[in-house]
Structure 1
Amino acid sequence: MALALKLFLFSLLLPLCYCADPIAHYCAQRFTSSQIQANINQVISDLTTKASVGGFATTSSGKENNTIYGLAQCRGDVSADDCSACLASAAKQFPVTCPKQADARLWYDYCFVRYDTDNFIGQSDTGFVTILYNVNNATDPVAFDNAVSKIMAKVNAEAVSPGSNSLGREKTKFTQYVTLYALAQCTRDLQPLQCAQCLSTTLQWFPIYCSHRQGCQVLYSSCKVRYEIYPFYFPLDGETGNPAKDYITKTLHPH
């Protein structure tokens, strides 16, 4: 109750952001232990506080088999206020989306938060993936896919470069009237090689789900990539789109 009240009061002080509902989630490992629940509560509280400051945090709580490990990261381009609001939304959402689950992950547009009984910190995780793709096709699909390949190569390279904070952003003119925007990001606990490998793995889904699509994003627990024909990252240079209206979501558990 104390944690729930703390998070509620904290959320009242935060600005509104587009983070009320997660765009993807994963829940596993049902438990009944009150100690595990207490450790989860502590991890969520720590992550909400610490990641609000620098946009990234890892933590743990408990001993031996009851230990819970956690990670939170905001998208590297969002403001501190939007980051804090997104983390607060995730903290409130976990008991609703993943009740009594010791392995839980929530993806939002602005942030990603997870906790687990296994120590996943510093390990690349590509065992679960969610893909969101636009239902509309590009008018010149072959040329468009070539442009997507080029810009994704740029943002992926930028995300693993020194000083990038594991974030890559690029935009390029596709036609006189269409600009292509792209973003790539890894969780900041990964080494550059791990980040590069994770981002490379996202591209395997492009021929299957993203070909010709006006927008697409691939979400792993350790990295994500996205492109659109409207500005979606900050600083914005025009009107944003509405992904929820025009997108189909696929959730896969590849082995």
Structure 2
Amino acid sequence: MTMSYLELTFFLSCLLIQLVPFTVAQYFPKEECISDRGDYTDNSTYQTDLNSLLTSFSNTQVKYGFYNFSVGEVNGIGLCRGDLTPDTCRSCINNSSQDIRRLCPNYKEAVLYYDQCTLRYSNRSIFGTVDTSDSYALQNTQNVSDIDLFTQQRDDLLLDLREKAASGGLLKKYATGEAVADFITIYALVQCTPDLEDQECSDCVADLSKAIPIF
């Protein structure tokens, strides 16, 4: 008996990666242009504020890979994968700040996923808030022969990493690990935006883990 399993899954407030290596670059960037929040017109105050916000992302380097800025009514968050150097993080955020305007022109809310970072802006409050309203998943089409063993090892690994990431503190909520099931090594990465409370981070990753069979 076989099953396919996920490569990458994202919520807006947390991410989970379980990896049996294959090339993912072709799937990024992935944009989510959110129409429910409305749009802005060229040369408007919102556009000016958004441009200032995205320039702040490009011009700022942070040590722990988390950006959060507000300009006028525009709020923005940038999160880099926890294993990146500050220079690599800044490069990804800089590219994202350019691409998000091109891929989601005139949208008041948008998200851009790269494999190394995520950038998001909105005209609503997004700081310190768990948001599972949007998700992005990639599936690895390789199969495993022992579903029960694979699922148990995966779930145990994610539970352990979930608690480690949630307790990471105010600067970084991030954890990685690996497990072996059916001669396959499962590599996993769990991360939350560090503005979440510990329990909020844990709950976000738990919800994401439960969603794996759905994706």
User: Counterpart of 1:103?
Assistant: 109
Deviation at 1:24, TM superposition (A): 4.6
Amino acid paired to 2:44: S
Higher strand proportion (structure 1 or 2): 2
Over 3 Å counting, the alpha-carbon distance change for 1:26 and 1:200 in structure 2 is farther
Provide the TM-score with structure 1 as the length reference: 0.68
Gaps (5+ residues) in structure 2? 1-24
Provide the TM-score with structure 2 as the length reference: 0.79
State whether residues 153 and 180 of structure 2, in contact with CA within 8 Å, keep that contact through their aligned partners in structure 1: no
Runs of 4+ in 1 over 3 A off after TM superposition: 18-21, 51-54
Deviation at 1:106, TM superposition (A): 0.7
User: Counterpart of 2:129?
Assistant: 123
2:87 corresponds to 1:77: no
Aligned partners of 1:174 and 1:60: how far apart in 2?
A: 45
Partner-residue secondary structure (3-state), 1:125: coil
User: Counterpart of 2:67?
Assistant: 57
Aligned partners of 1:157 and 1:53: how far apart in 2?
A: 23
User: Counterpart of 2:54?
Assistant: 44
Decide which of 200, 206, 214 is 1:200's aligned counterpart: 206
Per-residue displacement from partner, 1:175-200 (whole Å, max 9, x unpaired)?
5x531100111111111111111111
Percent identical pairs in the alignment equals: 27
State whether residues 19 and 110 of structure 1, in contact with CA within 8 Å, keep that contact through their aligned partners in structure 2: no
Q: Aligned ranges for residues 135-214 of structure 1 at < 5 Å?
A: 135-163=141-169, 165-175=172-182, 177-209=183-215
Deviation at 1:41, TM superposition (A): 0.6
Q: Single out whichever of 112-121 and 26-35 deviates more from structure 2.
A: 26-35
Aligned partners of 2:172 and 2:29: how far apart in 1?
A: 23
Q: Aligned ranges for residues 212-223 of structure 1 at < 5 Å?
A: none
User: Counterpart of 1:31?
Assistant: 40
RMSD in angstroms over aligned alpha carbons?
A: 2.1
Higher relative contact order (CA 8 A, sep 6+): 2
